[in-house]
Amino acid sequence: MFYNRNMKKPKIIFIDLDGTAMDASAEHRFQKRPSEYTKRVIKKLSTQIPVVVSTGRGVNETTKEIVHSLGSDTYIAWNGAQIVIDGEVEQKEIIPNDVVAQVFKELRKNNCFVIFNSNIKEQTYVRNKFYKMLMHVGKATAHTYKEFQNDFPVYKALVWCLSKNKLHKVAQKLRIKFQDKIEVSLSGSRNNIIEITKKDVSKGDAEVWFCNRFEIDPMNAIHIGDSLNDASTKGKIGKLVAMKNSVDAVLSIADEVTEYDCNNQGLAKYLEKFIEE
């Protein structure tokens, strides 16, 4: 697939968060944040080239805090289902209610765990009270399937199963059955999570929209990430750069791979070469 081999310096850089920019040490994964070194590099580079977060995370206080720590209030959230510019949501893509109902029915049939809109406190759904209790131990407040009312807007669904093999089968079923209605991607460091958004809503599509919004040729953009939700940028913008710690499927299609992994500040070390002193 085509990429811009002639691009020596990008006009804009999109960066993933988890597994890419979140390189500071932390006891638990949810406590991960960008290191001071990474924040310093991104802030300095941003004075010369726009650096925009493009993440599967939602629009919430934690995401806002992380993005703000990098010197910005502009970012792409939920794989493109919402785009925030200067702190205001400018673009929203909601999965139609009838599609949500159909997809939920399929997920329920396969006994999947489902979280809508990254809202583990109010929009998590599981098979029965036993799993509901397990989720409560994990700090989530789950509901059983029969409690689902389909009465809120859905930007993104996050899905997982007890078996990774089953999860991949479910993902393939969804792709085939709803190919004209939703986008289905795998994420996580082990491809162990399904992410669902509206059709034609992905990081790649959102980044093209963003470039057009600011009159930048998408072929002069690069995206840096580590999981399969980053793969949607391949061929849509100028270059896909995979972190050294990326899943194999991303490494195999990347136009370039960073020299260092996330835990060794691979993002910041890669970005430094674009800074003009």
Read off the pLDDT of residues 187-246 as tens digits, 9 standing for 90 and up: 988 889 999 999 999 999 999 999 999 999 999 999 999 999 999 999 999 999 999 999
For the cut 50, the answer to whether the pLDDT of residue 265 exceeds it is yes
Cα-based distances in Å from 212 to 32, 207, 219, 237: 32, 9, 11, 11
Q: Which fold has domain 97-198?
A: 3.30.1240
Quote the pLDDT of residue 3: 73
- Cβ-in-10-Å burial (0-12, 13-18, 19+) of 225 comes to buried
Token pair recorded at residue 10: 């990008």
Mean pLDDT for all residues in the chain: 93
Whole-number pLDDT of residue 135: 57
Please report, rounded to a whole number, the percentage of residues in the chain having pLDDT higher than 90: 84
Query: Which three-class secondary structure state does DSSP give residue 95?
Result: strand
Over the chain, what HEC string results?
CCCCCCCCCCCEEEECCCCCCCCCCCCCHHHCCCCHHHHHHHHHHHCCCCEEEECCCCCCHHHHHHHHHCCCCCEEEHHHCEEEECCEEEEECCECHHHHHHHHHHHHHCCCEEEECCCCCCCEEECCHHHHHHHHHCCCCEEEHHHCCCCCCECCEEEECCCHHHHHHHHHHHHHHCCCCEEEEEECCCCCEEEEEECCCCHHHHHHHHHHHCCCCHHHEEEEECCCCCHHHCCCCCEEEECCCCCHHHHCCCCEECCCCHHHCHHHHHHHHHCCC
Give the type of residue at 264. N
Question: What is the pTM (predicted TM-score) of this model?
Answer: 0.93
| Residue 167, pLDDT score | 95
In tens, the pLDDT along 136-165 reads: 545 567 889 999 999 999 999 999 998 999
Q: Do domains 12-92+201-274 and 97-198 have the same CATH topology?
A: no
Q: Which sequence spans correspond to the domains of the chain?
A: 12-92+201-274, 97-198
Query: Looking at residue 2, what is its pLDDT?
Result: 62
**Exposed, middle or buried, 43 (CB in 10 Å: 0-12/13-18/19+)?**
middle
Domain 12-92+201-274 has CATH 3.40.50.1000: yes
Q: What is the pLDDT of residue 137?
A: 44
Per-residue confidence band for 90, with pLDDT thresholds at 50, 70 and 90: very high
Looking at residue 189, its pLDDT comes to 80
